[in-house]
């Protein structure tokens, strides 16, 4: 595996953005830019031997700076939503900066340009998120690394420590289309998600605290089905999100057994998804282009449902509910989670 770097452009603040290219001997290539530590492209061979880019994105920095879809972004401190932009730890309440109405969504990492380093076969972004940033307590030291294996697995490793109790939930927001980023809607993609339950959400995509079985709902992906089969079903949560946008409670999250599998009957490309996190946000890209197709990478026009996301995560609004896995990180503890996407032909 090799990693090279080259210029990608400048931010509006005049900061140079670096493009890192990870390649292996199996014909796979992953490009990551320092702006938001974003996955800019993923090139994998299809059944005809042609390399297809299966990740949505942009060819230039302004696209990422102006983007509201988080294409390929590293997001945090808290991926997904915190209701009322606030949370409590040990009886003390913390107020954050609202950035989605009255709520807090994803955080500011997706708007930062990071400095990367090549450490052996890993691309590493290490940084300090200072106490009080966006209202979060604690000086947080973060280490994010990407590596590409010879079996066509993209491994993302998240580590962090803090000097004061805080909440933390880090993820990557890549949109996938296994027919190619420029091929139109991804609704024909076959998908399996090994999740028997989901967390109920309201019209603001905030969790109610209820954990529901997928039985008899459009959210049952335990056996393979096309993403588009039930995407417009008569269910309140489908209506709220204009398609899929929900946290799936994974049955047995691990790095040994995939928690989800997607594949394209057209290209033959399949992708296994692994994570140590208890949930994944399954999003079908419903609001990629609410005002009509937008020009993106290689001149492609992206429309709604052009790609789908499997965002490994703790549960949204987790600090509000004792029955959810804790999102609190304390001094002396190490936050450490991994997520992997393995590509192959099916």
CA trace torsion 133, 135, 139, 143 (10° rounding): -60
Assigned token pair, 254: 């691990």
The SS3 call for residue 133 is: helix
CA distance 220 to 328: 30
Place of tokens 């990557």: 172
Residue 235 falls in the annotated catalytic set: no
Write down the catalytic residue from 106, 133, 181, 311.
311
CA distance 199 to 248: 7
Task: Check if the beta carbon of residue 316 is closer than 8 Å to that of residue 247.
Answer: yes
Of 59, 29, 20, 30, nearest to 174 (Cα)? 30
Q: Helix, strand, coil % (nearest 5) of the chain?
A: 10, 45, 50
Q: Cα 136 to chain center, whole Å?
A: 21
Assigned token pair, 29: 């290539």
The one-character DSSP state at 343 is: E
Write down the catalytic residue from 104, 106, 133, 173.
173
Q: Cα 104 to chain center, whole Å?
A: 16
DSSP string, 169-206: B-EE---B-TT-TTSS--TT-EEEE--SEEEEE-TTS-
Residue 173 falls in the annotated catalytic set: yes
CA distance 176 to 342: 12
Q: How many CB atoms lie within 10 A of CB 303?
A: 14
Catalytic residues: 173, 311
């Amino acid at each position: 595996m090799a990693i090279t770097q080259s210029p990608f452009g400048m931010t509006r603040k005049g900061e140079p953005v670096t493009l890192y290219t990870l390649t292996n001997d199996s014909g796979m290539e992953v490009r990551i830019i320092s702006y938001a530590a974003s996955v800019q492209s993923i090139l994998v061979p299809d059944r005809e031997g042609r390399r297809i880019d299966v990740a949505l994105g942009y060819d230039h920095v302004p696209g990422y700076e102006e983007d509201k879809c988080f294409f390929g972004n590293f997001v945090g401190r808290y991926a997904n939503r915190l209701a009322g932009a606030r949370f409590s730890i040990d009886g003390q309440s913390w107020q954050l900066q609202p950035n989605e109405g009255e709520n807090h969504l994803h955080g500011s990492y997706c708007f930062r340009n990071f400095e990367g380093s090549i450490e052996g076969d890993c691309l590493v972004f290490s940084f300090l998120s200072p106490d009080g940033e966006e209202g979060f307590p604690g000086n947080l030291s973060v280490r994010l690394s990407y590596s590409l294996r010879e079996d066509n697995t993209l491994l993302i490793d998240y580590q962090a420590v803090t000097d004061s109790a805080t909440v933390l939930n880090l993820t990557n927001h890549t949109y996938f289309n296994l027919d190619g980023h420029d091929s139109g809607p991804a609704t024909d993609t076959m998908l399996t998600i090994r999740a028997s339950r989901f967390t109920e959400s309201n019209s603001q995509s905030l969790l109610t605290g209820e954990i529901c079985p997928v039985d008899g709902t459009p959210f049952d992906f335990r056996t393979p089905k096309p993403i588009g089969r039930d995407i417009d079903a008569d269910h309140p949560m489908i209506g709220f999100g204009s398609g899929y946008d929900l946290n799936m409670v994974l049955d047995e999250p691990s790095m040994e057994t995939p928690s989800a599998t997607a594949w394209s009957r057209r290209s033959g490309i399949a992708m296994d998804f692994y994570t140590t996190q208890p949930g994944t946000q399954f999003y079908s890209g419903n609001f990629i282009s609410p005002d009509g197709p937008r020009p993106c990478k290689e001149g492609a026009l992206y429309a709604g449902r052009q790609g789908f996301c499997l965002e490994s995560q703790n549960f949204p609004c987790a600090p509000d509910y004792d029955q959810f896995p804790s999102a609190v990180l304390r001094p002396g503890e190490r936050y450490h989670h991994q997520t992997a996407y393995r590509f192959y032909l099916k």
